[in-house]
Amino acid sequence: MLQDIGPALKNSDKEGLDDIVRRDDEIDILETEILKYLGKIRAGKLTEEESIEFQGLMIATDNLESLADIIETDIVALVRKVADVQSRSGDETRRLLKELHTSVVKSVELAVQAVRDNDQRAAESVLVMKDALRDLSDQLLERKAMRLTADDPDYLNLVRLEMSFIDQMRRIYTLAKRISKVVLPPALAQRN
C-alpha cells in the first residue's frame, strides 16, 4: 500500500488511490482473522516465553492495522488534496520527499520481515534508520521554513500538505519501530 502512494501522487492516479483504500478494507478483514486465531491460541496454556511472544504478535498486529489506517485515511487524503494544488515543489524538495517516502517504505518492509521471519537483524535495521529519517525530515522542514512566502496562498497550501506528509511518514516509521521491537530482546528494544 505505502509503496503505491508515490506512483499515485506522481500520476494523479485517483483509481490507484481507490485501490489503496480497498486494500485497507482487506487488511481490516485480515486483522480480524488474525485476532480470532490469536484468541484461539490464547485459550490454550502458554508458557511464559510463549505468552511474551503472543503479546508481541498482538502488538505487531495492532500497529500494522494502525499503519494501514494512516495510509488509507491520512496519506490518501493528502495525495488527493495535492492533486488540486497548482503550485509545485522544487526539484530538491521532491527528491527529499521521495527519499523520505522510500526510506519509510523500506522500514515497513523490514518490520514486516522482522515479525514474519522472527528476524532480529531486520528489526535492528529498522531501529538504525531512526537518525537518518529524523535528519531527512528535519532537512525537509528546514527547507520549507526557509522558502516559505506568504504571498501565494496556493503555495502555502502546498507547504502545509507537504509538512503533513512528512508528519505522516514519521508516524508510520514510529509504528514500524514498534512492530520491529517485538522480536528484539527487551534490553535492546528498550534502548531505542
C-alpha cell at 46: 502458554
| Residue 60 predicted with pLDDT over 70 | yes
Highest-confidence segment of 1-10, 51-60, 183-192:
51-60
Say which residues have a Cβ less than 8 Å from residue 162's Cβ, sequence separation at least 6: 89, 93, 97, 140, 144
pLDDT of residue 14: 73
| Residue 3 predicted with pLDDT over 80 | no
State the Cα–Cα distance between residues 60 and 177, nearest whole angstrom: 10
Contact between 83 and 161 under an 8 Å Cβ cutoff? The reply is: no
| pLDDT band of 13, cuts 50, 70, 90 | low
Domain 2-187 bears CATH identifier 1.20.58.220: yes
